[in-house]
Homo-oligomer: A and B are copies of this chain.
Amino acid sequence: MKVEYINPFITSTISTFRTMLGCRLARKEPFVKGVVRPEHEVSGVIGLSGKAKGTVVLSLSREAALQATAAMLGEHPPEINADVADAVGELTNIIAGASKAQLEHLKLNVSLPTVISGRWHTIEFPREVTPICIPFGSPWGSIAVEVGLLEQPVPAAGGSAEA
């Protein structure tokens, strides 16, 4: 996965948290996701397709998910519930949409977000993809964005246009 594809996801995450939630994120060093798997309780997952195929995962600690929902809805949810799932899905959607706009040449479309919760869930990407994990520090606890993108092979020009 090309390094220049990572930056849009970093800047979109930071600006979404700042403008939507009034929350300043401190970006940490991105790394190739391998054996080290950051533990988070809630993850928003959204698919990308176009001239590349991919997935974006926004993962939050329990506290960060609750606080982000409170900042969006103006009310603190008592637990991880449907409001939290909705808020995290919406944040994932906004981050993916803003990133896509910065990667115009890939002509990406986003799918619907789904939101996974469960304390010990893990999320795996297909073997042919090298997902990059971007960890962020926040006043609410740890947050991470994982991105896996696979460019689609370009069909050979004039391949079957013999007649």
Scan residues 46-85 of chain A and give those whose CB is less than 8 A from a CB of chain B: 46-50, 53-55, 57, 82, 85
**B113, B121, B124: the one within 8 Å of A126 (CB):** B113
Residues of chain B lying within 8 A (CB to CB) of residue A109: 49-50, 53, 109
Across the interface, do B53 and A114 meet the contact criterion of CB distance under 8 Å? Answer: no
Number of copies: 2
Scan residues 107-163 of chain A and give those whose CB is less than 8 A from a CB of chain B: 109-127, 129, 148, 150
Q: How far is the CA of A122 from the CA of B86 in the complex (A)?
A: 13
Q: How large is the interface on A (under 10, 10 to 19, 20 to 34, 35 or more residues)?
A: 35 or more
Q: How far is the CA of A111 from the CA of B96 in the complex (A)?
A: 13
Q: List 9 A-B contacts (CB under 8 A).
A: A45-B45, A49-B109, A53-B110, A54-B112, A112-B129, A112-B148, A114-B123, A119-B120, A121-B121
